[in-house]
Structure 1
Amino acid sequence: MSGDPNGPATNGCGNMLKSQEQQAKINEVRRLIGPLSGKALIYCSDESISRHLRARNWNVKKAAKMLKQTLKWRAEYKPEEIRWEDIANEAETGKIYRSNFTDKHGRPVLVMRPCRQNSESIKGQVKYLVYCMENAILNLPAGQEQMVWLIDFQGFNLSHISVKVTRETAHVLQDQYPERLGLAILYNPPKFFEPFFKMVKPLLEPETYNKIKFVYSDDQNTKKIMEDLFDMDRLESSFGGNNNSKFDINIYAERMREDDRKMPSFWTRVNIPPSVSYDAPPLNSIKLDSNSSSSDIEERDSTLGHEIELGNTKPDRDLLAHQGGLNTTTELS
């Protein structure tokens, strides 16, 4: 189990947010939320509240409403109590898994392969996605709050498209895990995926939409993009890397069971290890807008850009001690 998933308040790249104004807003959200206890208290760290504020453009009332809904969702859904045995059947094909490498900024990587979808249960797919999100957050290093999604479209066809699953995925990501996604790389999506992506665009908030990048292996900028973000010797060959290892369900199951054993203490510990620095170029220096897709470059249509009322939101497992007191996608496989 790595450092504090709540991190210090950051922009996802480890840059501290220290302004008195921001701290005042965090304090005001805490006041509006009212007295808390147990896991809710642990969850509502300054960093967690900061993520909700960022997701609501630092609007205190909207952030407080979002956080209240998140706390309600967590109390009812109990995402931190999901265990491997509860979702093992969803995981067996390797449609979604946490890779054994991070990007150069220390962000955990969730590999997704939609073509390996093995379930028709939206409820089951969402539960597995939540498990994967919680597991990625458990493994966040100190000072890091976000993760990367690597989505491999090899073998993807029309039968793998589901608006319902996509809607639920957007809901979980944006409402329950705000500011947890740092980047989603759609690797070699087929042409027929672009119209679908435009269709579901209204489900995505601008901040989320801007984190989704289309990357094609035949694009001249692709290699540079991936090299800037990943150690190519560890990156899987299906994404242009040099690692030829394959997903092994038995090995992965043991990793997840080991992480499951760490989860209870994750929600009670108070000692936060020091931040870790990573040898990587600043995220804002990496050119991610390869000339790959019109969908990626297209301006968000103002008629579709209405703000979606994100009922539930959660800063996700930052359950790390609050000020020392005491986070569906067609599983994008």
Structure 2
Amino acid sequence: MAAPTALHQAVDQNGSIIDQDPSTNSSTLPLKTAITSTSSEHTPENATCDGSTNPILTPFILPSPNHAPQPPPALTADQQTKYNALLTASKAWSVLPTSSKPASPTSPLSDPERFWLTRECLLRYLRATKWNLAQATARVQNTLIWRREYGVEGFTPEYIGPENETGKQVQLGYDIHGRPCLYLNPARQNTERSEKQIQHLVFMLERTIEIMPPGVENLALLCDMKQGAGKQPSVGQGRQVLSILQTHYPERLGRALVHNVPWVVWGFFKLINPFIDPLTKEKMKFDEDLRRLVPPGQLLKGYGGDVEFDYRHEIYWKAFNEMAEKRQRERWERWVQGGKNVGESENYLRGGEEPSVGREAVDGAADVSA
């Protein structure tokens, strides 16, 4: 089954996103106006998309006001030179193969693909390759080709929705560094093993990335293995997921918190352990006190937090996707307003304090001429 076309693949002449499916705007649960702003000035602490409490039914809009993002260290002169070289190369790409198969046809780079090529995106690949410029260049291109081939831009809420009817993956809350928390609940598995299960995870990763606040580049994975011993994925699926995460989402995993690990699941982890890179292993924590890592007011009760959450698919799924799509539109509109720059600042795109790199270039030129 081919996935439908992605929302942001259609734009009008001004660069604004066109919703290709009017039916996605119909609502049985009108969202409150809090969702129209990502500013903490207008949003109460621990507010949800629909204002629900005890239990909450929809995602939290923002992190705790006391969250402290962890910015990467400043670039050295050599690192800046390598970044500049990768940026120059990326700007020059006009066409790429449509698949990884030998002698595949090529097609022009689209605006959504250029939009994906942010400054932080390029830096993530450079860091992941330990600042090997040739490897980083090849990996960025390979990810762009993979995104085309795998159909990432085509996964929609309607296509993926049946996979999440039981709430086996839920984005809810943020950790102490403002990373959005993505909960994986193997015990709620509702479908047979298939490629669509992997597509579901990719979709949730993409949506979770969309809602990251300014200054945050990665997410927190929380997985409760209790009563899930018979639900774990196959070793083949585990290897495929690790390959996708490590190859095409470098530096996106801030931490992985695994809770209630039974001995059977330890066996599964031992089987896939050789395929986990050292950096990913360092980020994996087992049976930690999660209240130290996620504010209790944004942590589910089953993980030691204070949040009473009830997953009702028709309510949560609509609210979560509307929030992610709105933030996607806002980022797109800022990208267009900034000049559609390859290498744009993610902080600027997410509504942070940094200016567009286009504005920085104009200001820099003005300083030189003065």
Please indicate the TM-score interval, normalised by the length of the shorter structure.
0.7 to 0.9
Q: 2:170 aligns with which of 75, 90, 97?
A: 97
Query: For the Cα contact (< 8 Å) 2:129–2:136, is it kept in 1?
Result: yes
- What are the residue-to-residue correspondences of 1:1-333 with 2, within 5 Å? 13-33=70-90, 34-36=92-94, 37=109, 38-99=111-172, 101-215=173-287, 222-223=288-289, 226-259=290-323, 261-262=325-326, 263-270=328-335, 272=348, 273-274=351-352
Cα offset, 1:66, TM superposition: 0.6
- Segment of structure 1 superposing worse, 31-40 or 166-175: 31-40
Segments of 4+ moved more than 6 angstroms: none
| Structure 1 counterpart SS, 2:334 | coil
Indicate the residue corresponding to 2:8 in structure 1. none
Identity, in percent, stands at 30
Greater radius of gyration (CA): 2
- Segment of structure 1 superposing worse, 187-196 or 102-111: 187-196
Change in Cα spacing, 1:159 to 1:129, as seen in structure 2 (3 Å) is: closer
Query: For the Cα contact (< 8 Å) 1:42–1:322, is it kept in 2?
Result: no
Change in Cα spacing, 1:21 to 1:74, as seen in structure 2 (3 Å) is: same
- Normalising by structure 2, we get a TM-score of 0.66
Query: For the Cα contact (< 8 Å) 1:84–1:256, is it kept in 2?
Result: no
Structure 1: state its 5+ residue gaps: 4-11, 216-221, 277-319, 326-333
| Structure 1 counterpart SS, 2:170 | strand
Structure possessing the higher relative contact order (Cα contacts under 8 Å, 6 or more residues apart): 1
Change in Cα spacing, 1:159 to 1:257, as seen in structure 2 (3 Å) is: closer
Cα offset, 1:154, TM superposition: 1.5
Looking at structure 2, the residues matched to 90 and 30 of structure 1 have their Cα atoms a distance apart, in angstroms, of 38
Cα offset, 1:16, TM superposition: 4.5
Cα offset, 1:81, TM superposition: 3.6
Looking at structure 1, the residues matched to 292 and 147 of structure 2 have their Cα atoms a distance apart, in angstroms, of 36
1:133-177 superposed Cα distances (whole Å, 9 cap, x missing partner)? 111111011111000001011211235341122112112211111
Looking at structure 1, the residues matched to 164 and 230 of structure 2 have their Cα atoms a distance apart, in angstroms, of 22
Cα offset, 1:323, TM superposition: 5.4
| Structure 1 counterpart SS, 2:215 | coil
Cα offset, 1:265, TM superposition: 5.0
Looking at structure 1, the residues matched to 324 and 216 of structure 2 have their Cα atoms a distance apart, in angstroms, of 21
Cα offset, 1:268, TM superposition: 4.8
